[in-house]
Amino acid sequence: MDDPSTSVLAVEKIPLSDDSVNGYIALATINRPNKLNALNTEVMDSLKRFCSWVEDNDQIRCVIITGAKPLPAEEGKRPKPNAFVAGADISEFVGMDSKATKVKFSDNAVEALWSLTKPTIAMVDGFALGGGCEVACSCDIRIASQRSKFGTPEINLGLIPGYGATQRLAKLIGYGKTLEMIMTGEMISAIEAHKIGLVNHVCSEEELQQFTMDLAQKIASKSVFTLATAKRTIKAALNNTLDEGIAIEAEEFANLFDSKDKEEGVRAFMERDKAKWQDK
């Protein structure tokens, strides 16, 4: 697959600023601005295909997920607000029963995003609600503009989150804050989200793109092989006891001493040279 773009997911290849490194950053924009980029079946299918493409493509060193900006307002109508993703597409829930839900929500795109071995960044400008908050939580790093709002409003639909927020949000912000967000369904500001550890950085709307790109470029200039080891080892903290996690780290750390990139990184330091990663 050369280009995984679809009508609801625009994929761009962003060149690297460091020309000594091969590859690019993949920027995926969820593109349903008139529906606040809500996750319908087509978006979820596109995102899943995008994730397989990322995993199979050695050139991709970092991934950014974002939402399309609002289109100009139609005549006589108010403009739509900015959104990362305003949740799962609620219109698809009408009449849906548990059997259909298990099929729709099993092995879904949010899990595919979470399972990527490459670094992922959510660039959030506007509403990140329900499934949108969950897409953001399934990325490694979240950067938000000041006007962004986060929330898990499923309770207002007689539901709870179904793309992982009861678990991943709780790991990010803790048990108490997660209960409050899920039980009240209230939105919180980007500043509050930053305060509780839901987002890594908050910047102005104007700075958001540049800030995110700079961060992605920095990460993309490292060894993809070492980054994957770092991600896998840190994620082990979520599913293991501290002692088990430390044992996993010891094993992963030692294994890196057999890698080409450890030799290259150490050589470059000793010779005051720039490392040329082989990604192995």
Residues lying near ligand COA in the complex (CB under 6 A) = 35-36, 38, 80-81, 86-91, 127, 129-131, 153-154, 157
If we measure between CA atoms, which residue out of 179, 70, 64 comes closest to residue 126? Answer: 70
Q: Which is nearer to ligand COA, 54 or 88 (CB)?
A: 88
d(CA 113, CA 187) in angstroms, rounded, equals 24
If we measure between CA atoms, which residue out of 232, 229, 222, 233 comes closest to residue 258? Answer: 229
For residue 204, the Cα-to-chain-centroid distance in whole angstroms is 20
If we measure between CA atoms, which residue out of 191, 211, 225, 187 comes closest to residue 64? Answer: 211
Q: Which is nearer to ligand COA, 103 or 160 (CB)?
A: 160
Q: Which is nearer to ligand COA, 91 or 241 (CB)?
A: 91
Active-site residue 134, yes or no? yes
Active-site residue 75, yes or no? no
**Residue 6 DSSP label:** B
Q: Tell me the three state secondary structure of residue 153.
A: helix
Tokens of 159: 């539901």
Residue 6: CB minimum distance to ligand COA, A: 18
Residue 238: CB minimum distance to ligand COA, A: 24
Active-site entry in 55, 154, 186, 192 = 154
Where is 152: in which H helix or E strand? Answer: none
Residue 101: CB minimum distance to ligand COA, A: 12
d(CA 206, CA 144) in angstroms, rounded, equals 11
d(CA 232, CA 6) in angstroms, rounded, equals 30
Active-site entry in 12, 111, 134, 249 = 134
For residue 251, the Cα-to-chain-centroid distance in whole angstroms is 27
Q: Cβ–Cβ contacts within 10 Å for residue 258, how many?
A: 8
Q: Which is nearer to ligand COA, 100 or 157 (CB)?
A: 157
Residue 33: CB minimum distance to ligand COA, A: 9
Q: Which is nearer to ligand COA, 118 or 168 (CB)?
A: 168
Q: Tell me the three state secondary structure of residue 254.
A: helix
Residue 106: CB minimum distance to ligand COA, A: 17
Supply the residues annotated as catalytic: 134, 154
